[in-house]
Structure 1
Amino acid sequence: MHQLRLFLALAEELHFGRAAARVFISQPALSQQMRALEERLEVSLLERRGGGLRLTAAGEAVAEQAGEVLGAMARLLQVSATHAGAVRGKLRVGSLGAEAAMPHARAVLARLRSRHPDLEVEVLNLNFVEQFDALAGGAVDAAFLRGPLPSGFQSVELATEPRVVCLPADDPLAGETELSLAQLADRTVVDMPREVPRLWWDHLTVNPRPDGTAVRFGPVVRDTEAMVLAVLQERAITFLPAAARQLYPRPGLVYVDAPELGNSVSFLAWLPANRDVPAVRALRAAAHSARPPVADGT
């Protein structure tokens, strides 16, 4: 099929140099491919006369049929791709901070690429303010997020891990192997902008605490990088998934276990209206096959 495409270009240009430039190969390579095609068909397709290039009678007949053959092959590939479930086009996937770098997200994207190599996948980094709005507003087609999720989304749970306390290394509690919420009662906690759903952040900061005490919030940040810097610079604390130990190690920061915080849950989320869009459906299938879901909102 490749040789037929090259031959058609040459049949139209009747010039090796122009045809080679048109199909982005060298002139010697084009000549070699034409000789191989003639050997395969056992017929001469080209001849030089008067310093020019012409098609032989056989070449004219082959050129006439080659277009139909290539068109038929294109239709065959399209039909087979449809039945095989191959997806083309573009998929925009949001990632809250470093979520797309997590092993479970990488596994999903790798499975998607292996099944749909012609699908262009763009991963967009989202901060705390953008994460839900980008999905709800259509800026992304799906997103790797941390729970709890708004009720308007559908999702598949990908992974769980413990949550930890992030605090300055010179904090008196930094040397502990495990901390309770009671021990952290007088610490200032990094806060979120007002655009971030308050129920989401209150849940993650356990506000109010089990004894009814309200959390004392401090510096406001929009992303995880700014969050860890706020802990360093403004003497605050925050709570993060345990993976932050590897993703956000910083001199002067310490991560300490805190069982009362519970687990952090990773999700792939999408809008119900988009669940059967071919690219989103392919991503959902990749998520299910890459890791069996624990909880599925589909």
Structure 2
Amino acid sequence: MRLRVGRPPHLEERDAVGDPRAHRRARGPTRRQVFGAYVALTKPRIIELLLVTTVPAMLLAERGIPSPWLVLTTLVGGTMAAGSANALNCVVDADIDAVMKRTKSRPLAQHTVPTRNALVFGLVLGVLSFAWLWATTNLLAAAMAVGAILFYVLVYTMILKRRTAQNIVWGGAAGCMPVVIGWAAVTGDVGWPALVMFGVIFFWTPPHFWALAMKFRDDYAKAGVPMLPVVATPVQVAKQIVVYSWVMVAWTLLLLPATGWVYLAFAVLAGAWFLVYAHRLHTAVKRDEPANPMKLFHLSNSYLTLVFLALAVDSAIGLPVLGWPF
């Protein structure tokens, strides 16, 4: 007769009914985990980059330092608007996110947040952003925030993203709106420098996202998203990145009539830095050599931050504007 070797009965009973870890698993996610899932819906890293451009736009509009309260309220409203757009984007793209390795950990792909809850969360954030910006800034800034949400969700996510390789070119316009909203919050209108800043981000978006899409080409292809690297050759994509990079750097110089020497120096040096990397990527791809598009992707974040930081410093210290005619 063989003896059964096991754990003492009292320990087995504890495992069944008394283990705190078992109870936690049975109860589901903790409040902290649920909170983290809802925060993840808003895509905080994307929001950070958007806010980096908002403050310099406000400083340039003031040509100095605007009211700290106005800056704070604009950032809060902008955060809610961007969070709304991103959460609604997650709802529409849940099927895509579940397929792609890069996005399969998102809350709706992991079913950590019910789709209905995510939809309500996104809509409530959008309504709050409008009400908040209208109450603390002005109606123009609030209306443009709502316009950006609608454009990002309805035009980019629901129409362009799955239908055309130019999706990120035109859809990226929504990500350009924070600078215009920041300008409007200070001045109550939309001046030409706001439109130039809009253009800088507009032309920055394709090189930024196409570099990322080159890395995750197979992911996008598997999900059925016709990003340019999916439908074009690497050489064609790299060439387009170079073209948009040159236009972007040239466009930054259109701000010179409203800025000073600090901005000029950084716009030129950072632009040259970006162009070198864009051309290196194109050369490597053309020669069929190993290429790392993620270097350009990460550089693009640093580039945009540096250019707008220089714009902020230039505006805050109040140096005389260059006022160069074009």
TM-score above 0.5 = no
Q: Specify which structure has the bigger relative contact order, considering alpha-carbon pairs within 8 angstroms and separated by 6 or more residues.
A: 1
- More helix by proportion, 1 or 2? 2
- More strand by proportion, 1 or 2? 1
